[in-house]
Amino acid sequence: MAEIKRHHVGPRMSQIVTHGDTIYLAGQVGTAGASVAQQTQDCLDKIDTLLAEVGVDKTRLLQVTIWLADMADFAAMNEVYDAWVPVGHAAARACGEAKLATPDFKVEFIVTAASA
C-alpha cells in the first residue's frame, strides 16, 4: 500500500499531499488585491516552490484547475500562465469562474503532478 505523506499540515488542509507517484497541491492564491496578472504569477511561483520541495518541477504537471473570479480576466491570466508552462509539458487543464475565498482573490490554481 502506497504511503500518504503530508507537508505543511494545518487544521483545515495540507499544502502538499503525496500518494505513491502522485503529488497533490492545495489551491494556491496570490497577493489579495493585486492585479490578476500579479496574482497569477504569485500562484505559479508558489507552485514552483512547493513542487521543488518534493523534488519535481513544472515539467511533471498532470492536471491544472484554474478558478477565476471573473472570466473577463481569462486573457490576462493566460498571458502569464502561457509564459510559465514549459513547451511540450502542458498539463490537462480546466478553467472556470467561481467565487473565491474573499473578493480580493482573482485567481486560484489547483495542481496535480507526478513524481516519477
| Interatomic CA distance for residues 70 and 35, integer angstroms | 12
Query: Could you report the per-residue pLDDT of 1-52, keeping only the tens digit for each?
Result: 889 999 999 999 999 999 999 999 999 999 999 999 999 999 999 999 999 9
| Interatomic CA distance for residues 109 and 54, integer angstroms | 18
- What residue ranges define each of the domains in the chain, with the CATH number in brackets? 4-114 (3.30.1330.40)
User: Does residue 116 carry a pLDDT above 80?
Assistant: no
CB 36 within 8 A of CB 107: yes
Query: Could you report the per-residue pLDDT of 75-111, keeping only the tens digit for each?
Result: 999 999 999 999 999 999 999 999 999 999 999 999 9
Query: Could you report the per-residue pLDDT of 48-71, keeping only the tens digit for each?
Result: 999 999 999 999 999 999 999 999
Residue type for position 50: L
